[in-house]
C-alpha cells in the first residue's frame, strides 16, 4: 500500500478514537487487518428516525490511492433505506463518488452516512423499491425501516404484525430474510408476497 | 505494524499528561498540517480560499481529477496558478515549491508513417509531377517512373489529409518556382 494512504489512515484512526463522537457512541471504528486497508465502522441510528436505537456496521476498504480517491464503504448490517441497497448494502452518496474531496476523513464520512440516515434522498435512489415506498407510502416505509432496524440492527421497536407475517411465510418453508424482503417489497400484503415467492 | 502504532499511540497519550505546555504546542502544530496528508505541510502552499497543503499532495490531487479542480476542503475553484507558496524563515533556499514537482510531460503522438516514401506533387486526381536537381541521370527515371501506379491514391475530398496534401503541394510548387527563378537570375 502506498505510504501516504497507510500513514493517513493511522492518523485518522487515532483522531477518530479521540473524537467526541466516539466518546458519545455515535460512531466507532476498528481495524480488520494489520495492513490498514480494511476497517470496520459502526454508526448509531440517528434519533427521531426509524433507525433510532440500532447500530449499523459498515465495511470500509481503503484504496491504495487514498486520500486522492474515496474509501469504498458499504453497509454490512441490512437496512431499509432509499439510498442503500437492501440486497448488497451499497451506498449512494455523492461524497463517496464524484464529490469526494481529499480533506474528508473516515470520521467525516461516517458522520455523513449517519446524516444520510436522517435525510434520505429519494430522488437519487440506490434501491428503487425502497425509494418508491418512501415516496408513496411514508407511513409504511417508516414501519418497515423500524422493523428492519429491530431485526438486523438491534433496534427497540418490534412490530408484531410484521413479525407474524414473516413467521407465516417461514412456516411455509421460506427463508426468513427472503420472506421479509418479499413482504417489504409488496407493502406487507401477504398475498402478493406469497405469489411472488412461489411464482 | 499495528503494534508499533499502538506503542506510538500510548506514547502520545501519555505525553500531554507529562507537561502542560505540550497541549498548546500540539495545537500550533495541527494548525500547520496539510489538509491532505494530515502531516506538517512541507513545501507548503496556500489556496486563495486559505487552505494549507503540501505542494506534492495538492499537485497529486489536481492530477487525479484534471476535469474538476476544486479545493479538497471547501470545493472552491483552485489551480496551480492560484496557490501561494509559503516561505518560512527556516527555509534556506527559497525555491518555489511549484517548480519542484515537475509538471507531467504532455503526451506525444506522431502520424503513422507513409510507406511509399516521398509523396510527390498532386495535381488533380491522377497526375503527379516531381523534379530532380542537376544532371544526375536517374533524375530522368524519377520523373518517368513516377507516372507509375505505385503511389497511394490521393485522399478523398474534404478530409483533413486532403487539405494537408493540397497545402503541401502548394508550398512545394512555390519552392520550385523560386528555385527555377534563382537558377535563371543567379
Q: Report percent pLDDT > 70 for chain A.
A: 99
Ramachandran assignment for B127, one of left (phi > 0), alpha (psi -120 to 50 degrees), beta (any other) = beta
Residue B127 pLDDT greater than 80, yes or no: no
| Residues A68 and A139 grouped into a single domain | no
Give the mean model confidence (pLDDT) for residues A136-155.
Answer: 96
- For residue A152, the tally of other CB atoms under 10 A from its CB is 19
Which residues between 17 and 76 in chain B have a beta carbon less than 8 angstroms from any beta carbon of chain A?
35-39, 51, 57, 60-61, 64, 68, 70-73, 75
Q: Model confidence at B135, in pLDDT bands (50, 70, 90)?
A: low
- What pLDDT is attached to residue B3? 43
Helix (H) or strand (E) holding B54: strand B52-54
Residue B20 pLDDT greater than 50, yes or no: no
| Residues A112 and A135 grouped into a single domain | no
- What pLDDT is attached to residue B16? 41
| Residues A143 and A108 grouped into a single domain | no
Domain-embedded: residue A46: yes
Q: Report percent pLDDT > 70 for chain B.
A: 50
| Residues A10 and A94 grouped into a single domain | yes
Specify whether the CB–CB gap between A98 and A26 falls below 8 A: no
What's the pLDDT tens digit per position in B21-31?
555 666 666 77
Domain-embedded: residue A188: yes
The length of chain A is: 199
**Torsion sign, CA atoms B112, B113, B114, B119:** positive
- Domains in chain B, please, with CATH? 30-98 (3.30.40.10), 121-185 (no CATH)
Domain-embedded: residue A182: yes
Q: Which carries the bigger pLDDT value, residue B117 or residue B55? A: B55
Residue B149 C-alpha cell reads as: 501506379
Which residues between 66 and 105 in chain B have a beta carbon less than 8 angstroms from any beta carbon of chain A?
68, 70-73, 75
Q: Which carries the bigger pLDDT value, residue A95 or residue B12? A: A95
Q: Which of A91, A118, A145 is the last residue of a domain?
A: A118
**What is the distance between the terminal CA atoms of chain A, rounded to a whole angstrom?**
48
- What pLDDT is attached to residue A56? 97
Specify whether the CB–CB gap between A73 and A88 falls below 8 A: no
Catalytic positions of A are 92
What's the pLDDT tens digit per position in B154-163?
666 767 888 8
Alpha-carbon distance B47 to nearest alpha carbon in chain A (angstroms): 13
Q: Name the average pLDDT for chain A.
A: 93
Residues of A with a Cβ under 8 Å from any B Cβ are 4, 7-8, 10-14, 17, 31, 34-36, 65, 67-69, 98-99, 101-105
Residue A186 lies in domain: 128-198
CA distance A187 to A189: 6
- What pLDDT is attached to residue B122? 46
- List helix spans (H) across A25-159: 106-118, 128-136, 138-152
**DSSP E strand boundaries for chain A:** 27-31, 38-44, 55-61, 72-75
Specify whether the CB–CB gap between B36 and B57 falls below 8 A: yes
Q: Which carries the bigger pLDDT value, residue B28 or residue A62? A: A62
| Residues A109 and A133 grouped into a single domain | no
- What pLDDT is attached to residue B128? 57
User: How many domains is chain A partitioned into structurally?
Assistant: 2
| Residues A73 and A148 grouped into a single domain | no
CA distance A99 to A93: 9
Q: Report percent pLDDT > 90 for chain A.
A: 87
Specify whether the CB–CB gap between A137 and A94 falls below 8 A: no
Contacts of B168 (CB under 8 A, 6+ apart): B119
Cα separations in angstroms, B167 against B128, B171, B172: 15, 6, 9
| Residues A152 and A67 grouped into a single domain | no
| Residues A9 and A87 grouped into a single domain | yes
Which site among A66, A68, A109 would you substitute to test the B interface, given the most B Cβ atoms closer than 10 Å to its Cβ? A68
- What pLDDT is attached to residue A168? 95
Residue B11 pLDDT greater than 50, yes or no: no
Q: Which carries the bigger pLDDT value, residue B150 or residue A155? A: A155
Q: Name the average pLDDT for chain B.
A: 70
Alpha-carbon distance A10 to nearest alpha carbon in chain B (angstroms): 8
Residue with cell 411465510: A169
CB contact under 8 A, B70 and A101: yes
**What is the distance between the terminal CA atoms of chain B, rounded to a whole angstrom?**
83
User: Is the preceding omega at residue A118 within 30 degrees of 0, hence cis?
Assistant: no
CA B85 to chain CA centroid, nearest Å: 22
ipTM metric: 0.82
Q: Highest mean pLDDT range out of A22-31, A150-159, B97-106? A: A150-159
What's the pLDDT tens digit per position in A100-124?
999 999 999 999 999 999 999 999 9
Q: Which carries the bigger pLDDT value, residue B141 or residue A83? A: A83
| Residues A90 and A176 grouped into a single domain | no
Give the mean model confidence (pLDDT) for residues B68-88.
Answer: 89
Residue A169 pLDDT greater than 70, yes or no: yes
Residue B2 pLDDT greater than 50, yes or no: no
| Residues A52 and A99 grouped into a single domain | yes
CA distance B174 to B128: 16
Of B1, B35, B36, the CB nearest to A34: B1
Alpha-carbon distance A8 to nearest alpha carbon in chain B (angstroms): 6
CA distance A67 to A51: 30
Q: Which of A58, A84, A118 is the last residue of a domain?
A: A118
- What pLDDT is attached to residue B18? 41
- What pLDDT is attached to residue B153? 59
Which chain B residue's Cα is nearest to A5? B37
Domain-embedded: residue A139: yes
| Residues A11 and A59 grouped into a single domain | yes
Domain-embedded: residue A123: no
The CATH code of the domain that includes A76 is: 3.10.110.10
Q: Which of A118, A147, A175 is the last residue of a domain?
A: A118
SS3 A107: helix
Least confident of A14-23, B26-35, B53-62: B26-35
Across chain B, how many H-helices and E-strands are there?
A: 5, 5
- What pLDDT is attached to residue B83? 87
| Residues A19 and A80 grouped into a single domain | yes
- What pLDDT is attached to residue A2? 57
- For residue A92, the tally of other CB atoms under 10 A from its CB is 18
- What pLDDT is attached to residue B32? 85
Contacts 24+ apart (CB under 8 A), B3-7: B5/A10, B5/A13, B5/A14
Amino acid at each position: 500500500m502506498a505510504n501516504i494512504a497507510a500513514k493517513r489512515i493511522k492518523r485518522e484512526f487515532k483522531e477518530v478514537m479521540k473524537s467526541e463522537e466516539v466518546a458519545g457512541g455515535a460512531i466507532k471504528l476498528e481495524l480488520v487487518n494489520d495492513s490498514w486497508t480494511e476497517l470496520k465502522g459502526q454508526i448509531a441510528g440517528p434519533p427521531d428516525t426509524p433507525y433510532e436505537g440500532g447500530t449499523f456496521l459498515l465495511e470500509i476498504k481503503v484504496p491504495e490511492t487514498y486520500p486522492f480517491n474515496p474509501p469504498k464503504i458499504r453497509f454490512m448490517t441490512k437496512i431499509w433505506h432509499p439510498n442503500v441497497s437492501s440486497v448488497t448494502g451499497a451506498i449512494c452518496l455523492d461524497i463517496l463518488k464524484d464529490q469526494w474531496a481529499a480533506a474528508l476523513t473516515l470520521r467525516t464520512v461516517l458522520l455523513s452516512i449517519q446524516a444520510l440516515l436522517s435525510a434520505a434522498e429519494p430522488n437519487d435512489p440506490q434501491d428503487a423499491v425502497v425509494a418508491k415506498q418512501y415516496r408513496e407510502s411514508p407511513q409504511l416505509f417508516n414501519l418497515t425501516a423500524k422493523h428492519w432496524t429491530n431485526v438486523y440492527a438491534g433496534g427497540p421497536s418490534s412490530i408484531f404484525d410484521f413479525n407474524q407475517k414473516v413467521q407465516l411465510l417461514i412456516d411455509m418453508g421460506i427463508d426468513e430474510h427472503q420472506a421479509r424482503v418479499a413482504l417489504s417489497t409488496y407493502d406487507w400484503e401477504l398475498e402478493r408476497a406469497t405469489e411472488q415467492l412461489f411464482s | 505494524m499495528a503494534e508499533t502504532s499502538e506503542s506510538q499511540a500510548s506514547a502520545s497519550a501519555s505525553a500531554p499528561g507529562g507537561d502542560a505546555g505540550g497541549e498548546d504546542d500540539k495545537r500550533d502544530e495541527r494548525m500547520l498540517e496539510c489538509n491532505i496528508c494530515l502531516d506538517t505541510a512541507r513545501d507548503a502552499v496556500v489556496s486563495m480560499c486559505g487552505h494549507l497543503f503540501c505542494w506534492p499532495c495538492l499537485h497529486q490531487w489536481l492530477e487525479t481529477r484534471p476535469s474538476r479542480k476544486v479545493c479538497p476542503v471547501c470545493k472552491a475553484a483552485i489551480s496551480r496558478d492560484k496557490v501561494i507558496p509559503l516561505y518560512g524563515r527556516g527555509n534556506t533556499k527559497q525555491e518555489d515549491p511549484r517548480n519542484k514537482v515537475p509538471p507531467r510531460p504532455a503526451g506525444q503522438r506522431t502520424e503513422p508513417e507513409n510507406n511509399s516514401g516521398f509523396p510527390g506533387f498532386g495535381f488533380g486526381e491522377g497526375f503527379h509531377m516531381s523534379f530532380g536537381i542537376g544532371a544526375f541521370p536517374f533524375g530522368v527515371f524519377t520523373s518517368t517512373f513516377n507516372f507509375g501506379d505505385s503511389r497511394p491514391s490521393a485522399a478523398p475530398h474534404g478530409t483533413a489529409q486532403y487539405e494537408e496534401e493540397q497545402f503541401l503541394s502548394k508550398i512545394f510548387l512555390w519552392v520550385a518556382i523560386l528555385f527555377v527563378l534563382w537558377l535563371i537570375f543567379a
